[in-house]
Amino acid sequence: KDVKRKKLSVTSRLGDGPAWVLADAERLADVIDNMLSNATKFSPAGGVLDASLDSENGRARLSVTDRGPGVPPELLPHVFERFFAANQGPTREYPGLGLGLPLSKDIVDALGGRIWLESRGSGSGTTARLELPLCAPDAAPSVVDGAGGARKKSVLIVEDNADLVEVLMLFLASVSRNLSITSARSGFEALEKIKDEAPSLVILDVMMPGMDGFEVLARLRRLPDGERVPVLVLTGYSEAVDRARAAGAKDVLLKPFEKNLFVKKVLHLLQEPPR
C-alpha cells in the first residue's frame, strides 16, 4: 500500500534454491514485515528499495536497503534496546522505528539468529539485515493443516515454580502464535490434564513435591497413547539426565539454560512426528 502510494521501485535478488529455516512462520513474517515497513516509511517518494536473500556458511541472510535519511552511527548500537526505542532517538528523531525493532530482536534471538542495521549516517540510507541458521528441508515444521489453516499446537508446562512458568510462557509466546500454552503445578494435575487432552509437548520439571518428574513420566507412559507424547525434561542435576532419558524423556535441558536453546529444543520437538 505505502509502496504504491509513494511510487517506490522494488528490486529483489534471490539466491539459488530455497533457504529452509526452523521458525514459526507468523512470527518470522512479523520480523520481515517490520523490516520492509521501516524501509518503506523512510524512503523518499519515487525512491528504490532493494531486497536480497542469500545462503552462505549454514545461514540464510535477508537484506532490505532503502535510500532514506540513514541512521547516525552513534544510534546504531541502541536502536534495538527496548527502553531506548520507547523513550529516545528512534521515536523522536526517527518516528516510526519505535518498539518494532526490539520486538523483532526478541524473536530473532530466540531463533538463534541475528538482526542488525547498517548505515553510513545522514543521507546514506539504511540496510536492515536478518540472519537465521539453515536447516534441512525435512526438519522444517509444517505450519498448515490439511484444510490449509494454521495448525494449533499445544504445550503443557509442568512446574511448581510460578515464576519459572511465567518465564517459559513468555519464551514460547515470543516465537509462536500457534501455540496453546497451559500449565500444571503438580504431577497429579498434569496427568489429569493429559487424560482430558494429550498435548503436542510436555515440558516437565523433575523436582516437584508430591510426585516428581520421574513418576510423572512413568505414569504418562502407562496412559493410552502416552508413549506418543514427547516430553522435554528440565533439571538442575546433571546426574538426572540419563535417568530422564531412560524413563522416556525425548530430550533433557539442564538448568540454568539460555532462552535460545530452550526455544530451539521446543521447536524441534513440536515438528517431530509422533512415535
At residue 147, the pLDDT reads 42
From 103, 137, 171, the end of a domain falls on 137
From 116, 137, 158, the end of a domain falls on 137
At residue 25, the pLDDT reads 78
At residue 18, the pLDDT reads 76
At residue 1, the pLDDT reads 64
Distance in angstroms (rounded) separating the CA atoms of residues 81 and 270:
31
Quick: pLDDT tens for 129-188.
999 988 776 555 544 343 444 457 899 999 998 888 988 888 887 667 778 899 999 999
Regions of the chain with pLDDT less than 70: 1, 82-99, 137-151, 174-175, 272-275
At residue 86, the pLDDT reads 40
Are 93 and 196 members of one domain? no
Are 130 and 152 members of one domain? no
Q: Looking at the 3D structure of the chain, how many domains does it have? A: 2
Residue 139 CA neighbour count, 13 Å, CB half: 14
Instruction: Give just the sign of the alpha carbon dihedral 180, 195, 222, 225.
Output: negative
Are 186 and 224 members of one domain? yes
Are 196 and 253 members of one domain? yes
At residue 202, the pLDDT reads 97
pTM for this model (two decimals): 0.58
Are 153 and 129 members of one domain? no
* Of residues 234, 239, 210, 250, the one with CA closest to residue 157: 234
Domain CATH number, residue 105: 3.30.565.10
At residue 103, the pLDDT reads 82
Distance in angstroms (rounded) separating the CA atoms of residues 225 and 185:
23
At residue 274, the pLDDT reads 52
Contact in structure between 35 and 100 (CB atoms under 8 Å): no
Are 167 and 118 members of one domain? no
Q: Domain residues for 219?
A: 141-271
Contact in structure between 217 and 229 (CB atoms under 8 Å): no
From 115, 137, 159, the end of a domain falls on 137
Are 148 and 70 members of one domain? no
